[in-house]
Chain A
Amino acid sequence: MKSIALKHFLYETAGIYLFAVRFFKELFKPRFEFNEFLKQCYTVGNTSITLVSVTALIMGLVITIQSQPAMETFGTESWLPSVVSISLVRELVPVITALTCAGKIGSSIGAELGSMKVTEQIDSMEVSGTNPFKYLVVTRVLAATLMLPLLIILGDTISLYGAYIGVNINQNVSFHLFTNQVFAKLDFSDVLPSVIKGLFFGFTIGIISCYKGYHTKNGTEGVGKSANSSVVVSIFAVFMIDLIAAQVANIFHIL
């Protein structure tokens, strides 16, 4: 039982890796499905705006309110905007955005591609001369890769506004002072890694969800399974990448 699970895990890992290699091969082949790419961008990006915005606003607000008592104990309330903004921009907003997107995008891609697979639409595409990988997978992965950083930037902005509201619950800080305090401590080495991290999060979520959907088996039951596992594996992968990214960003922060 144990060896089967391990075997399955290794098989999946190898499959995802090969899937990613194939993605890069297909990416630069001609016949670009630009309209489909824009459509997927809209699906990944615009439909997630509300979800990401609300999550980010609440995140900023809550983190500020929760940090307030601790900062008060040390008498460093005036540092609250700086500290909260660093933790939001560096870590919380990218990860929270990636997790919500993993749930939303991962499940939709997994389910969509899975149902296409089980209803043999992908096979018929191949027959009709359209490259299904290029049309379905490359556009979706690319859309996720490019949209997630944008969502993260939007999330950063909105969460900082949430932090501004949170700070003003207990203190009276003007918006101008708040912005100054935030940008006094923020650095390029805080913003750029979080954006680059967004690219990796988007790519990982896209690749894993597409792989899971693309390799759905066992009919309708398999669609549900692949939608579920694409979300679970994506979330897991997001945390793994975050762990690696933290180490790498730390190296660049020291340099």
Chain B
Amino acid sequence: MEEQSVKKIKLGVFVIIAATCLIVGLYFIGSKRNIFHSKIHVSALFSNISGLMPGNNVQFNGINVGTVSKIYAIADTAIKVEFTIDSDIKKYITSYAVASIGTEGLLGSKLVNISPGKRGGVTLREADVMNTVNAIETDKALRKLLVTNDNLNVISENLKTFSAKFNTPNSLWNLLSDSVVAGNVRNALVKIKITGDRTAVITGDLSKIVQDVKSGKGTMGALLTDASLSQKLKQTIINIEAVTDSFAIITGNFKNVSEKLKNGDGAIGTLISDTTFVHKLNMSMDNIKNGSANFNENMKALKLSWPFKKYFKKKEKENNK
């Protein structure tokens, strides 16, 4: 009988140990799936869930906080994903938080990623619909990468030809490596420096002059600063104005005169515009010319004539002195 009870105790110990192992194991598995935590149910709408399945993890900044419970389509471009979130973590998830679909590692299983978004906003409640951002679709990204690769190829090709050109003797590189050029450049720089120094001196002088002008020294200064002068200048300008007015009147008269002249009115008008008169005048002029020539001869004769001879000789003597 003693042996019997010992066997029963051993059996009991075995059963309890095995049952404990099972319960602990199931608890560990359950805790991973958050079955024994209090939790809230929220959902999110995606246009493409790229293979997400019920039971996949929900991560908040990389921590597992829940699992996907249900996935169904509600429209042609809207897939509703329902998932649970641990009550402990929900206070950190606000209405600004954004859900997206990502992957565990590079090739792992899919998961829902929740990132916090901007600060503020109310905390998440039961049956809320979260904001979403569509995940990076791998094939789309790869397609873009292909284009980028092509571009990169072209760029590197260009770079290659460029560098090849750079290496040839008559190149910029040659110029850069030439010591004579470098010397010249150095000299030029020295000269530029001297010029700069001089410029500085000139600028100093200039500033001094400006200073003097300001304080009324010198002609220019006086000109610019003398009040009486400016008064006079003003007067002058007024006079000029008056003169100009008179001139305008004169010009007006002159215009009238010139118009009359044109039309042949008055004596001078007749003089200028009458051609027969001009002819006569010409003839008169010829006559006068002839007359004056005769007069000249007469005068010569007169000089040599007796009563006047004495006078001319005397004058000549005086001139020779």
Q: Is the CB of B21 within 8 A of A154?
A: yes
Query: Cβ of A179 < 8 Å from any Cβ of B?
Result: yes
| A residues near B250, Cβ cutoff 8 Å | none
Q: Is the CB of A42 within 8 A of B10?
A: yes
Q: How far is the CB of B57 from chain A (nearest CB, A)?
A: 10
Q: How far is the CB of B182 from chain A (nearest CB, A)?
A: 55
Check if A39 is an interface residue, CB within 8 A of chain B: yes
Tell which of B4, B7, B10, B18 touches A150, judged by Cβ atoms closer than 8 Å: B18
Tell me the residues in window 15-43 of chain B with beta carbons closer than 8 Å to chain A beta carbons. Answer: 15, 17-19, 21-22, 25-26, 28-30, 32-33
CA distance A154 to B18 in the complex (A): 5
- Tell which of A1-9, A18-26, A104-112, A180-188 binds the partner: A180-188
Given A46-B14, A187-B29, A188-B26, check contact A39 B19 (CB 8 Å): no
Residues of A within 8 A of B8 (CB): 38, 42
B28 touches A150 (CB 8 A): no
Question: How far is A235 from B58 in the complex, measured between Cα atoms in Å?
Answer: 44
Q: How far is the CA of A186 from the CA of B19 in the complex (A)?
A: 18
CB-based contact A156/B21 at 8 Å: yes
- Quick check: is A49 within 8 A (CB to CB) of the other chain? yes
Given A179-B28, A188-B26, A41 and B11 touching (CB < 8 A)? yes
Contacts A183-B29, A187-B29 given: A39-B14 contact, CB under 8 Å? no
- Asked if B10 and A151 make an inter-chain contact with CB atoms under 8 angstroms apart, the answer reads no
Assess whether A150 is in contact with B26, with CB atoms less than 8 Å apart: no
- Judged by a CB distance under 8 angstroms, whether A157 is at the interface is yes
Q: Are B14 and A150 in contact (CB under 8 A)?
A: yes
Q: Which residues of A contact B28 (CB under 8 A)?
A: 179, 183, 186
Who on chain A is nearest to B35 by CB? A188
CB B61 to nearest CB in A, in angstroms, measures 18
Q: Nearest Cβ distance between residue A154 and chain B, in whole angstroms?
A: 5
Assess the A183–B11 pair: CB atoms within 8 A.
no
CA distance A157 to B8 in the complex (A): 23
Residues of B within 8 A of A184 (CB): 32
Q: Does A45 contact B (CB under 8 A)?
A: yes
B18 touches A151 (CB 8 A): yes
Return chain B residues, CB-CB under 8 Å to A195: 22
**Contact: A49 with B14, CB < 8 Å?**
yes
How far apart are the CA atoms of A156 and B25 in the complex, in Å? 10
Expressed in whole angstroms, the Cα–Cα distance for A89 and B21 within the complex equals 13
Q: Does A191 contact B (CB under 8 A)?
A: yes
In Å, the complex CA distance between A183 and B33 comes to 10
Q: Nearest-CB distance from A84 to chain B (Å)?
A: 15
| Contact of A71 with B by CB under 8 A | no
Name B27's closest neighbour in chain A (CB-CB).
A183
**Residues on the B chain within 8 Å of A116, using CB:** none
9 CB-based A-B contacts, threshold 8 Å: A35-B4, A39-B4, A45-B15, A150-B14, A153-B22, A156-B25, A183-B28, A183-B32, A195-B22
Q: A45-B15, A191-B29 are in contact. List 8 more A-B contacts (CB 8 A).
A: A39-B7, A150-B18, A150-B19, A153-B21, A154-B14, A154-B17, A188-B30, A191-B25
> A residues near B, CB below 8 A?
35, 38-39, 41-42, 45-46, 49, 149-151, 153-154, 156-157, 179, 183-184, 186-188, 191, 195
- Nearest first, the 7 closest Cβ-Cβ pairs linking A and B are A150-B18, A183-B28, A157-B21, A42-B7, A42-B11, A153-B22, A153-B18
